């Protein structure tokens, strides 16, 4: 019955207080901080903040270690009272790391989203223009992306820093010309979308947002660094040689797991709306991480239909056809984009390739359908993948790609 009346975290704290008797057991329950920083399973926050409570409240820990606790002589009612007390401490501690942003309020305060960065003071250098020595690893519509070595918690970690929203501190938004004002508003919506989605999520196939730092001229979003860059860049470079079939299949499976989390496991559900190879990042082991939630939409909890948009969102070649007509997005919009990515993985070709200007088909998807239904579907496979013994498996993945990219979304899979 207790589980029907008290939060699972409160019950967990209660059990810890009542039955913790040895250092070994305490270490097992609270875990090692270095391991927790890499842990993505659903108990991540519970374990980590229990660790913080233990570390910051030495007097309470000493009291719990008293022999009376091991002997079980303290009454259940006292344990329950202390459980509530520990829960209050946990609630106060978690606010240090996660501070919710109301949708309609301006984003003005720096925020940490992960204990990997120990203090906002470690990011004070972002209140001035980034050092010219920082390596620029990418450029987008909002600005540069830097690679930086950050000293925090007594060690160096590598992070990626996205500089977004440039505006003059001498000008108020209301005084900007209409075009600049609309652009600024759009960029701010993208920043809020990142914070309200990936800033709150933990999954091994999503890139983690570590911190947000605003100053007078820019907003900086700090992410974990992905050493192998984007799937787009790898496939377009000489590094594509390391993407053998097994690695490409692993990447496809990773994207599938990430979408399952966004569409099914996470509440509220999230529709990404801009899945493409450039937004699939690869870590040191070539595991796929879905990135860039600037266009993502949160689906209301009690709402199962499509989310509307004022304009078409996404990247040409990866946008589901129905989105152009309805300006509405569902989880099947992401599935269509995923199908195109599958086609890219197997064929090594992109929707924007000039090759399609010389064929009867205007883009990758219609060309793929024709090839898959031909007498020799293997002609659609990336030549670098042929003659390695997995052709039947590759053709099967191409058929799945066609299944995901049906013109009628009712014909495509959900997940």
Q: How far is CA 33 from the centre of its chain?
A: 22
The number of helix segments (H) and strand segments (E) in the chain equals: 14, 12
3-state secondary structure of 357: helix
Q: Do residues 385 and 367 lie in contact, with contact meaning Cβ atoms separated by under 8 Å?
A: no
The two three-digit tokens of residue 105, written as one number: 């309020």
Selected residue with higher pLDDT from 32 and 415: 415
Question: Residue 308 region, left (φ>0) first, then alpha (ψ -120 to 50), else beta?
Answer: beta
Three-state secondary structure call for residue 159:
strand
Please, what is the average pLDDT of the chain? 75
175-189 residue pLDDT tens: 434 444 555 566 777
Averaging pLDDT over each range in 50-64, 88-102, 274-288, which range is the top one? 274-288
- SS3 at position 307: strand
**pLDDT over threshold 60, residue 65:** no
pTM: 0.69
Cβ atoms 56, 86 nearer than 8 A? no
- The residues that bridge with 206 in the sheet, in sequence order, are 290
Q: Are 210 and 117 in contact (CB under 8 A)?
A: yes
Residue that wins the pLDDT comparison between 149 and 29: 149
Decide: 168 and 225 in contact? Cβ < 8 Å.
no
* pLDDT, average across residues 50-79: 48
Catalytic residues: 274
Q: Which domains does the chain carry?
A: 2-94 (no CATH), 111-224 (3.30.200.20), 231-411 (1.10.510.10)
Cβ neighbours, 10 Å, residue 93: 18
Tokens of 46: 């519970």
Measure Cα distances from 250 to 230, 246, 387 in Å: 15, 6, 19
Asked if pLDDT for residue 163 goes beyond 50, the answer is yes
User: Would the pLDDT of 20 be above 70?
Assistant: no
**HSE (side-chain half, CA atoms, 13 Å) at 186:** 13
Closest C-alpha to 290, from 332, 248, 314, 254? 254
The pair of three-digit structure tokens given for residue 406, joined into one six-digit string: 């049906």
User: Over pLDDT 70: what percentage of the chain?
Assistant: 65
pLDDT winner (highest mean) among 45-59, 334-348, 356-370: 334-348
Which pair of structure tokens corresponds to residue 224?
A: 């974990």
* Selection from 196, 180, 187, 139 nearest residue 165 by Cα: 187
């Amino acid at each position: 019955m207790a589980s029907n009346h008290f939060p699972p975290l409160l019950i967990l704290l209660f059990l810890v207080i009542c039955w913790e008797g040895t250092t070994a057991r305490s270490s097992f329950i609270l875990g090692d901080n270095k391991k927790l920083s890499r842990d993505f399973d659903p108990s991540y926050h519970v374990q980590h903040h229990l660790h913080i409570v233990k570390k910051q409240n030495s007097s309470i820990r000493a009291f719990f270690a008293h022999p009376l606790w091991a002997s079980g002589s303290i009454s259940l009612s006292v344990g329950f009272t202390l459980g509530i007390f520990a829960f209050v401490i946990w609630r106060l501690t978690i606010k240090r790391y996660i501070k919710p942003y109301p949708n309609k309020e301006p984003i003005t305060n720096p925020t940490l989203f992960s204990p990997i960065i120990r203090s906002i003071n470690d990011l004070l250098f972002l209140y001035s223009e980034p050092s010219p020595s920082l390596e620029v690893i990418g450029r987008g519509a909002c600005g540069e992306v830097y690679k930086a070595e950050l000293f925090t918690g007594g060690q160096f970690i590598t992070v990626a820093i996205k500089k977004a929203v440039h505006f003059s501190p001498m000008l108020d938004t209301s005084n900007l010309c209409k075009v600049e004002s609309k652009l600024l508003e759009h960029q701010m919506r993208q920043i809020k979308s990142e914070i309200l989605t990936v800033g709150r999520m933990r999954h091994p196939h999503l890139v983690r947002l570590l911190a947000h730092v605003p100053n007078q001229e820019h907003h900086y979003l700090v992410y974990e660094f992905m050493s192998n860059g984007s799937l787009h860049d790898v496939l377009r470079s000489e590094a594509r040689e390391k993407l053998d079939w097994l690695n490409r299949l692993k990447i496809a499976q990773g994207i599938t797991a990430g979408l399952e989390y966004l569409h099914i496991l996470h509440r509220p559900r999230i529709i990404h709306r801009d899945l493409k190879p450039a937004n699939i990042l690869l870590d040191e082991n070539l595991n796929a991480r879905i990135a860039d939630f600037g266009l993502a939409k949160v689906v209301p909890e009690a709402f199962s239909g499509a989310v509307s948009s004022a304009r078409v969102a996404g990247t040409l070649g990866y946008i589901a056809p129905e989105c152009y007509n309805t300006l509405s997005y569902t989880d099947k919009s992401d599935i269509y984009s995923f199908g195109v990515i599958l086609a890219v993985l197997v064929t090594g070709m992109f929707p924007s390739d000039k090759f399609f200007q010389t064929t009867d088909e205007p883009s990758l998807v219609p060309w793929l359908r024709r090839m898959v239904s031909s007498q020799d579907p293997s002609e659609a496979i990336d030549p670098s993948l042929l003659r390695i013994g997995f052709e039947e498996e590759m053709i099967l993945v191409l058929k799945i790609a066609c299944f995901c990219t049906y013109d009628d979304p009712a014909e495509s899979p959900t997940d």
